[in-house]
Structure 1
Amino acid sequence: MADQASWLRSLRDVASRISSDADLDALLRDLIRSACEHGAWDLGSIMAVDAAGGYAHVMARHDSALLRRRLEDRWALATSPALVALRRGEPVYIRDARESEAFPGYRREAFERDYRTVLVIPMACTDAEGHPLVLVVVSRAVREVSGDDLAFMGMIVHLGAIAIERGHRHRAQAAAAEQLRRALLAQGSLLREVLAGGSTAALAGRLSDLLKAPVLVVDFFASSLLATGSPVPEAYDDDAWRRALDGPLGRRILREVRGAVAQPHGGTVALRLTDGPAPPLSARVEALMVDSDAVGALLTFGGEEAGDLRNLMRDSAKLALGVQMMRSVLRFRFETRTLTELFFEIVERRWRDPEDVADRARRLGLSLATPARMLVVDFPEQASRPPARPADHAVDGHHAVALLARQLGLPAHVVAIGGGLVCLLPQEGEGRPPPEEEGHLPEEGRRRSLAEDRPRSPREGRRRPPQEGRRRPPQEGGREPERIARFARRVAETLRHSFDREPIVVLGGDCEGLDAYAREWERCWRMIRIARAFGRSGALSAPDFGPLPMLIGAADSADVRRFIDGAIGRVVAHDRDNGTPYLETLAAYLRAGCRSQPCADAMGLHVTTLRYRLSRIGDLFGIDVDTPERRFAVELALQLHGLIENSLPSPG
């Protein structure tokens, strides 16, 4: 070996050569060539040791011979000193590979390639896949290796390890910079898509490509789920997954996501795909907020490991979806508020110019000239209180009813009224097929021409009797009343699942003209008050209540109770405190037409006992039923008392 100055010049040359390489493969080739040339070795290679696979793979090699031939690129670790060098952490020196029996692979190749001495040096670095590297140099003649030689080769290896680690960092930084560039471009693309008015479905597809994972976008306002791919391909392909989300599975996932978003420390949600023992599907959930309300959620399944860049991409996705949801929320609130204001202006009779009201309604898609059926929904009492749930109940109910109307093919205008909804169902015109027959969605029915929506004269608006060969209007024996009644029942059932209690759904009559809307609203609201007073819920109409509840509803309930207390209140209190049967006896006597013997037979009493009870009733309470007027007052009080008592919920 040369003197110390030559070594330093050699090391400087090695450092300058390997430091100029940015590509890892070129760096390894320059490193092994420099090691062979400056260390006076004839052959050399750099190998990556895959201990789990049991092989050492040649990454780069150098051969000073001019003859090129096919060489072995993979060595079994059982016949290679590379694993020994890594385990010991020090070089392995084979003085004469032809005579060594410890490594038969090298012994065989030593004869094939005509070399003798081998030096294997472990490197303090790895390849791109994390496998440790070793440097192997070979001499064709038997060579004695001194301590200075080992120190010089160790310095070359150390410089190479530094360059390789620098190359790894450079490549990682370049990859991170490229990912950041793609993330920023994707963020800009997402925002442009949203600001250009793109659909949520198209936006969800871009999010899946951005996050490299299946995505599920949950819209609480529309009660919809948009999927870009199946997170369980072994159970559902993409199309089957989307179809499953349209059924009971989607409704279950919607409820579970709502619950997860309502939790203050959410982050992941376990989605149950079946009712059986199958393990749930884990997903990361991100709430989409508008005005401090959760209006939706972004779910990602699997994908790449979490990191700053992935969090940045997820935040970009949330921002884009939040803007999209905010546009929908603002549009919904504006349209709903405008329609609600117009509706209350009509039913409270605050309008002055009917033509102006008709024009404003037409701009909102509602034709006041077309007869419409009114359906009023009163939410359960706890649903109108501020709940710990992510979205407004009025919004949920509004979208659920609108979606149900579309599914049943009914054109509907849904109006939010705070603690409930009003659904106006335009009646099909004469000879016009229902929406499912003419192939239009309900929204399209709102966009009729001005010629169709113009106010009709009384003669034009009067229905003509069915003629030969003409389809009868649905209101006159057709399917329309049945469809609307079915719609009312479905509304009660759907909202019961949403609010955990059944709402009151009152089906009113036809509205044609501004005064008719006001009268029908008052009638429907009176029935709601009756239903509340008597604990009724579900789909109801006027015949369901009977005459007496309507009488109570028409009067003030406090006045009715004062009338009952004045007529029979003392009897009720006496029976309650003393266990006497005076109220029962009085009711049976009136049912028997004030005839003693039939009443005694019906009650299983002797007629003398009955007469004694009646006299006690007269003495204690001053009740006299001898005159028709007194008899009617007592009988009415008994009927109203029984009706009110039966409507009260049982204790416990």
Structure 2
Amino acid sequence: MAARLTERLKSLGHIASLVNAGSALPEVLSLITTAVCQRSSWSSAAIMAVDEASGYSVLVARYDPLFADRTKGAVDRWLLQTSPVKTVLDARQTMIIDDAQALPDSAGYRQEAMERDYRTVVLLPFSARDEQGRNMVLSVHAHEVRKVDAEETAFLETVALLGSLAVEKAHRLWLEAQQNDSLRQALEIHQHAMERVLTTEDTEAFIELCRRYLDRTLLLVDLTTNQVTSAGDTTGLNWPDRVAPATFRQLAQIVREAEIGQFEQLRRLSLLGYGEIDAIVEPCTAGGDVLGGILLLSDDRALDAVEALTAQELRAAFAMLLLRRRIRFDVQAETHGEFFSRLFSGDWRDEAATFARAHHLQLPLDEPARLAALSLAPATGKGTAKGPAASSADIEQALARLARQRLAGATAFAENATTEAGGTTYIIFLPERGASAKAARQLLEQMIEEIAWLSQAKPVACLSALCQRLEDYRDARRDCDRLLKLAARVGRRGIVESGDFGPLARLIAIADPDALRSFVEETLGAIEDYDRAHDGNLLPTLERFLANSGRYQATADALGIHVTTLRYRLQRLTDVFKLDLEDPDTRIALDVALRVRGTLAG
């Protein structure tokens, strides 16, 4: 018994070593059938795959030395309906057929057994599948009817398990080989593509690279130069050398809104002048900015893994090419703040060159637009802070983000100069784009709310008149500056307009605010203190009396009191504060103090 067990273990070891000697799947399957017969008493063996689509069990490997020369005309497939293979797979259990030549319901299998002269058969399911994903069954045959005991069954099931493991190993080796090939190709593409784009910015050179490595039609959208070029066969699309501006704007919007993927998401697009097309859209980004993108047009061929990897490498190279162009331009170009600073100063001569620079900076100055100016004053309330105040850069970024989200072409930047209160002024450029002053004001209100939260300060902002010419921007900036200075002098917050300030407010803006407050305090402070101490209303009565030019009945009606009550209050002002309300100079001083007080309270 021990000797037989030792022999069995040796046989399994030999079978395992033979099976592991193969690498390709057909070779592995052939070695399995050979090894099981050479190390056991079974005369032949075969492996069949179940092809559900065709309804047949198909021979994939066979070892039968007695009939090795009789392959011509040999049967290599059997109907599943008349084959026990389907039963074995459905039950996932070993099947023992005592005499295959006597099977009542398997005519094809019985005919095969008679032709090849085998009787007892053992069929064992594999846990692995072949290259086409089909389930497989191992069968071993004996020329005579024999008894298959539990020990033999266990031996054969172990062989089937070893065979399944060998098949899975072959699959892994094949996948590794495919992945290595893909990686080698990707590395080659990456190396060639990067060498190309790092040595030249020539678009044609990059297009030739695309044609060499990817047999697909591509549209390359370059937002740094506002151009679209094609690579591959575009005859069916009838693509021109230069697309219309409206089509380019549409393509630019498509790539800006696209999300970065791995060339797996097909989209239906409707392009102006070209109808509907199916394409995979992949943006090329750098530092969070979309510099362009690739549209891979569909031709009813599925994109395989290698092509997808190739496309990703080409996208990376195209992004590098676009980044080089952007950096080269940024070295020469002004920032938005520098550009507008020159525009506000009027230090420009060539209108066409100015519009061209604005176009490169993606500023639609050829369309009507408004300027908004926003400045901050430190918060004076205690206990209202939510945490550390945001930096000027954070505020600038938040304003720019809100501007871009709401209006295409809008931007925001911090000016170098500071306000009278020591804060920073932020300029927001707001193209109309079919909107209105009301929409711009709503956006400004949203900005004020967010900046107040970020900065823990109270912003003041203003909106300019519509700018339709380059010359309008200097006047608009000056008007905004005057409004912000006026608002700062009188302590106004929120959105201010020119109509909010009368002549007195403008006079206050150029006066000493501390002196004005002293004047108000000297003139009205005692009356305010008296009212607070006696829960009185002498100051409101005085204000209404002066506003009604000293008319008693009109003042009493406005206050909702009797004229006698009014005369009593006015007499109290005379008796307590020694005010002669009949004196014109006294009435003027009181009226001015009341107006200044209201303006400063804003």
* Same topology, TM > 0.5: yes
Q: Which amino acid in 2 is paired with 1:385?
A: A
Q: Deviations over 1:511-543 (max 9, x none)?
A: 9999x9877645421212445633342xx6534
Please, which of 100, 108, 122 is the counterpart of residue 119 of structure 1? 122
Please, which of 478, 482, 492 is the counterpart of residue 534 of structure 1? 492
Q: Which amino acid in 1 is paired with 2:88?
A: L
Q: Deviations over 1:322-347 (max 9, x none)?
A: 9967975896697454x634765897
Question: Matches of 1:40 and 1:536 in 2, distance apart?
Answer: 98
- Tell whether the 8 Å contact from 1:398 to 1:414 is kept in structure 2 after alignment: yes
- Tell whether the 8 Å contact from 1:85 to 1:120 is kept in structure 2 after alignment: no
Question: Matches of 1:623 and 1:315 in 2, distance apart?
Answer: 88
- Check 1:335–1:541 CA distance in 2 against 1; reply closer, same or farther (3 A cut): farther
Question: Matches of 1:135 and 1:414 in 2, distance apart?
Answer: 74
- Check 1:527–1:604 CA distance in 2 against 1; reply closer, same or farther (3 A cut): same
Q: Which amino acid in 1 is paired with 2:549?
A: G
Q: Does 1:225 align with 2:257?
A: yes
Q: Tell me what 2:269 maps to.
A: 239
Q: Does 1:491 align with 2:440?
A: yes
Q: Does 1:634 align with 2:583?
A: no
- The percent identity for this pair of structures is 24
Question: Matches of 1:226 and 1:400 in 2, distance apart?
Answer: 15
Where 1:98 maps in the other structure, the secondary structure is helix
Q: Does 1:564 align with 2:520?
A: yes
Q: Tell me what 1:421 maps to.
A: 427
Q: Does 1:507 align with 2:464?
A: yes
Q: Tell me what 1:378 maps to.
A: 373
Please, which of 337, 342, 347 is the counterpart of residue 340 of structure 1? 337
Question: Matches of 2:318 and 2:391 in 1, distance apart?
Answer: 29
Q: Tell me what 2:566 maps to.
A: 610
Q: Tell me what 1:169 maps to.
A: 172
Q: Which amino acid in 1 is paired with 2:173?
A: H
Question: Matches of 1:390 and 1:76 in 2, distance apart?
Answer: 76
Where 2:77 maps in the other structure, the secondary structure is coil
Question: Matches of 1:565 and 1:223 in 2, distance apart?
Answer: 63
Question: Matches of 2:162 and 2:492 in 1, distance apart?
Answer: 90
Q: Tell me what 1:75 maps to.
A: 80
Q: Which amino acid in 1 is paired with 2:397?
A: D
- Check 1:159–1:287 CA distance in 2 against 1; reply closer, same or farther (3 A cut): same
- Check 1:77–1:534 CA distance in 2 against 1; reply closer, same or farther (3 A cut): farther
Q: Deviations over 1:213-252 (max 9, x none)?
A: xxxxxxxx9994235899999xx9532799xxxxxxxxxx
Q: Tell me what 2:46 maps to.
A: 45
Q: Tell me what 1:590 maps to.
A: 546
Where 2:597 maps in the other structure, the secondary structure is helix
Question: Matches of 2:284 and 2:449 in 1, distance apart?
Answer: 23
Q: Structure 1 length normalisation: TM-score? A: 0.55
- Tell whether the 8 Å contact from 1:123 to 1:158 is kept in structure 2 after alignment: yes
- Check 1:596–1:110 CA distance in 2 against 1; reply closer, same or farther (3 A cut): same
Question: Matches of 1:603 and 1:549 in 2, distance apart?
Answer: 26
Q: Which amino acid in 2 is paired with 1:561?
A: R
- Tell whether the 8 Å contact from 2:412 to 2:426 is kept in structure 1 after alignment: no
- Check 1:589–1:422 CA distance in 2 against 1; reply closer, same or farther (3 A cut): same
Aligned pairs for 1:158-237 within 5 A: 160=163, 163-185=166-188, 187-188=190-191, 196=201, 201=221, 224-226=256-258, 237=267
- Tell whether the 8 Å contact from 2:355 to 2:366 is kept in structure 1 after alignment: no
The offset of 1:580, in angstroms, is 1.0
Where 2:582 maps in the other structure, the secondary structure is coil
- Check 1:496–1:84 CA distance in 2 against 1; reply closer, same or farther (3 A cut): same
Q: Deviations over 1:413-454 (max 9, x none)?
A: 9865264216599xxxxxxxxxxxxxxxxxxxxxxxxxxxxx
Q: Which amino acid in 1 is paired with 2:80?
A: W
- Tell whether the 8 Å contact from 1:45 to 1:60 is kept in structure 2 after alignment: yes
Aligned pairs for 1:86-125 within 5 A: 87=92, 92-99=95-102, 106-107=109-110, 110=113, 115-121=118-124
Question: Matches of 1:640 and 1:80 in 2, distance apart?
Answer: 103
The offset of 1:626, in angstroms, is 2.9
Question: Matches of 1:232 and 1:241 in 2, distance apart?
Answer: 21
Q: Tell me what 1:440 maps to.
A: none
Where 1:238 maps in the other structure, the secondary structure is strand
The offset of 1:643, in angstroms, is 4.1
Aligned pairs for 1:406-445 within 5 A: 416-417=414-415, 419-421=425-427, 423=429
Question: Matches of 1:126 and 1:16 in 2, distance apart?
Answer: 21
The offset of 1:590, in angstroms, is 1.2
- Check 1:22–1:367 CA distance in 2 against 1; reply closer, same or farther (3 A cut): closer
- What is the CA RMSD across the aligned residues, in angstroms? 6.3
Which range moved further: 522-531 or 149-158?
149-158
Where 1:594 maps in the other structure, the secondary structure is coil
- Tell whether the 8 Å contact from 2:89 to 2:137 is kept in structure 1 after alignment: no
Please, which of 389, 393, 396 is the counterpart of residue 398 of structure 2? 393
* Structure 1 unaligned spans of 5+: 1-5, 206-220, 243-285, 299-309, 406-412, 426-482, 648-652
- Tell whether the 8 Å contact from 1:492 to 1:504 is kept in structure 2 after alignment: no
Aligned pairs for 1:282-301 within 5 A: 290=287
* Structure 2 unaligned spans of 5+: 1-6, 204-218, 229-252, 273-282, 293-307, 359-364, 379-388, 416-423, 452-459
Question: Matches of 1:158 and 1:400 in 2, distance apart?
Answer: 61
Q: Structure 2 length normalisation: TM-score? A: 0.59
Q: Does 1:24 align with 2:25?
A: yes
- Tell whether the 8 Å contact from 1:491 to 1:505 is kept in structure 2 after alignment: no
- Check 1:541–1:620 CA distance in 2 against 1; reply closer, same or farther (3 A cut): same
Please, which of 131, 135, 138 is the counterpart of residue 138 of structure 2? 135
Question: Matches of 2:570 and 2:503 in 1, distance apart?
Answer: 30
The offset of 1:46, in angstroms, is 0.9
Aligned pairs for 1:318-357 within 5 A: 335-337=333-335, 340-341=337-338, 357=347
Corresponding residue pairs, total:
491
- Tell whether the 8 Å contact from 2:371 to 2:476 is kept in structure 1 after alignment: no
- Check 1:608–1:389 CA distance in 2 against 1; reply closer, same or farther (3 A cut): closer
- Check 1:335–1:577 CA distance in 2 against 1; reply closer, same or farther (3 A cut): farther
Question: Matches of 2:477 and 2:49 in 1, distance apart?
Answer: 83
